[in-house]
Amino acid sequence: MAASVSPLSSRSLLSLAFWGFWKSPGTRWLSLVFVILLAVASFSGYKTYQRRLSVIEQAATLAQTNRTLQVASLKGIEDPEAALGRPVTKQERGRARIQRMIATLPTSLAYSGGNFNALLTPSPMMILSSGVSDLWPDRFTITAHSQRKNLQREDIASPWQLEAGVWDVTTLVVYLLPLVIVAFTYNVLADDRERGTLALMLSNPIRLDHWVLANLLVRSLSAIVLVLPFALIPVCLAYGSDQFQTVATSSLLWALLVAVYGLFWMTVSLFVVSLGRSSLNNGIVLVVFWFVLVAVVPNSVAEFSQARQPVMSQQELITSERAFREKAERDGKALKERYYQQHPEVKRPSHEQDQYNQTHWDVVRLETDRQTQPLIRKSLAQVNARYGIHQWGMAGSPALACKLAFDDLSGTSVGQHVEFCLRASEFDEEFKTFFQPRMMSREELTLEDYDQMPAFQHQTLAFERDATMQGTALLVLLLWTLVVGTVGYRRIQRRAHTA
């Protein structure tokens, strides 16, 4: 008799599941709180992005203004207003005077800050994921000082904030979205059983496995859908810019990863629900799963990476640099002689041209840098190797896979910051290769020199994505979802047959 009754259509089943979900206590409140938290995180991300962008733009503008004033001075334009084509303040006039004074002096120009920078323009995707951008620098002033000093990270930050961690949309997605899905789904089936409505429901033409799937899908998608609109914020901000297409693609990928990550947690719920325990037990087991996947595994990966790949400490770097410098100062005379012998094209300055023996200090710095630079790069390579271990580790935790992919899409990953520092180190070398002969000869700079001056070429590094990383992260998420989902579904199917 029961076989003759046609089963409920998928649409009706989903509507029924949605109705049940919407009417369950606390659902709407929890959704509202989650959305408010997401909105706060987005606003916080937006403010951080705006502030960083403004700092980078200010640094670029200052360097550009200085360059304009220097070039104008070489062309014989002394008036800063004429050079800049706008009225200037008294303070700017003072600065313009300094720029005019140093325009032809290679040593003064190379030692003064604000003229040459390595800058990392933030991507609007940073609003969604600020990654390690609070710990790693996004700008360096490149001068004739030592490379270690130039690449010194000195950003002001509250240790309280650094310790508490970032509060961005990605943090909420990685940590709280699973908890929201757990809260929405832990009592699927168990609640019907505990209230005694399961038998009544099964007396209708509803298959148990379909009922469970419909409920889990509705509840998980309800949580996922709350997050997805936030992916549009960077797209709106990038609208009309050169990077619009890149940001739009990144945003789309971000949304896809969020959806798959949410579905993964749905399959975890499916698996736990299939165990047929009480709702309390389901909740407990799900929270254990959550803690293992978002805390235990990522922690273990972090600890393993630190144990496996030591990174040269800053103490060691400072000590080594001081020792190199001490030796270079002792050998200064010989080093200087050797420099002029090895660079016959560099004209040795007269005593009048070099009355303070500045060339001695320049050659000391050159020697110190020559020995320190490999250490700096080695230490960056070591950090990168640690990051590489994390990329392997993401196979063990969908949360880690998601976080790595999100940071990479947002241009705030460890890998991108290390790459930026390496590029900055290369730029520092390029800068000194250009200035060192001019500083050693102390000849005046010409307009032709200004045309040849190096400039940092990697300002848009934050917009570059690592396709392999994205692909691997997506694959990891899909594999986890598929495996856990299949196991859970098979179990629930078996239960459906028994029921």
Work out whether 171 is an interface residue with other proteins (CB under 8 A): yes
Contact 466, 388 (CB under 8 A): no
Work out whether 87 is an interface residue with other proteins (CB under 8 A): no
Work out whether 333 is an interface residue with other proteins (CB under 8 A): no
CA angle 424, 425, 426 (to 5 degrees): 90
The candidate with the shortest Cα–Cα distance to 97, out of 76, 116, 118, 73, is 73
d(CA 274, CA 291): 20
What's phi and psi for 119, nearest 5 deg? -120, 145
Task: Among 135, 252, 334, 475, indicate the residue that binds other proteins (CB under 8 A).
Answer: 135
19 or 43: CB nearest other proteins:
43
Q: How far, in Å, are 67, 150, 422, 427 from residue 458 at the CA level?
A: 19, 17, 11, 10
5 or 307: CB nearest other proteins:
307
73 or 279: CB nearest other proteins:
279
In whole angstroms, the minimum distance from the beta carbon of 184 to other proteins comes to 12
Work out whether 158 is an interface residue with other proteins (CB under 8 A): yes
Residues within window 89-118 making contact with other proteins, judged by CB under 8 A: 89-91
In whole angstroms, the minimum distance from the beta carbon of 464 to other proteins comes to 19
Q: Which residues pair with 117 in a beta bridge?
A: 141
Q: How far, in Å, are 94, 160, 178, 252 from residue 247 at the CA level?
A: 41, 31, 26, 9
Residues within window 267-326 making contact with other proteins, judged by CB under 8 A: 278-280, 283-285, 287-288, 291-292, 294-296, 298-300, 302-303, 305-307, 311, 313-316, 318-319, 322-323, 326
Residues within window 400-419 making contact with other proteins, judged by CB under 8 A: 400, 403-404, 407, 414
11 or 90: CB nearest other proteins:
90
Binding mask 213-252 for other proteins (x = CB under 8 A): ----------------------------------------
Question: Which DSSP category does 293 fall into?
Answer: I
Task: Among 7, 165, 229, 374, indicate the residue that binds other proteins (CB under 8 A).
Answer: 165
Work out whether 148 is an interface residue with other proteins (CB under 8 A): no
In whole angstroms, the minimum distance from the beta carbon of 372 to other proteins comes to 14
The two three-digit tokens of residue 84, written as one number: 């800049």
In whole angstroms, the minimum distance from the beta carbon of 331 to other proteins comes to 13
> How many Cα atoms sit within 13 Å of 125 on the Cβ side?
30
In whole angstroms, the minimum distance from the beta carbon of 258 to other proteins comes to 16
In whole angstroms, the minimum distance from the beta carbon of 341 to other proteins comes to 26
Question: Which DSSP category does 444 fall into?
Answer: P
359 or 441: CB nearest other proteins:
359
Work out whether 174 is an interface residue with other proteins (CB under 8 A): yes
Task: Among 183, 227, 461, 484, indicate the residue that binds other proteins (CB under 8 A).
Answer: 183
192 or 209: CB nearest other proteins:
192
Work out whether 468 is an interface residue with other proteins (CB under 8 A): no
Residues within window 30-69 making contact with other proteins, judged by CB under 8 A: 37, 40-41, 43-44, 47-48, 51, 55, 58-59
In whole angstroms, the minimum distance from the beta carbon of 344 to other proteins comes to 31
* Piece of the chain touching other proteins by CB under 8 A; list 149-157, 263-271, 440-448, 487-495: 149-157
For CA atoms 383, 387, 392, 395, the dihedral sign is positive
234 or 298: CB nearest other proteins:
298
379 sits in which H/E element: helix 358-393
In whole angstroms, the minimum distance from the beta carbon of 176 to other proteins comes to 8
In whole angstroms, the minimum distance from the beta carbon of 190 to other proteins comes to 9
Work out whether 152 is an interface residue with other proteins (CB under 8 A): yes
d(CA 402, CA 277): 30
What's phi and psi for 284, nearest 5 deg? -65, -45
d(CA 209, CA 188): 11
At 76 the three-state DSSP class reads coil
Binding mask 383-402 for other proteins (x = CB under 8 A): x--xx--x--------xx--
Contact 293, 181 (CB under 8 A): no
At 27 the three-state DSSP class reads helix
For CA atoms 318, 322, 323, 325, the dihedral sign is positive
DSSP-H helix ranges across 130-231: 147-150, 159-164, 169-171, 177-185, 190-195, 198-202, 208-227
Contact 491, 275 (CB under 8 A): yes
Work out whether 178 is an interface residue with other proteins (CB under 8 A): no
Question: Which DSSP category does 350 fall into?
Answer: P
Work out whether 167 is an interface residue with other proteins (CB under 8 A): yes
Contact 237, 231 (CB under 8 A): no
Work out whether 157 is an interface residue with other proteins (CB under 8 A): yes
| Type of residue found at 64 | Q
* Piece of the chain touching other proteins by CB under 8 A; list 103-111, 205-213, 379-387, 436-444: 379-387
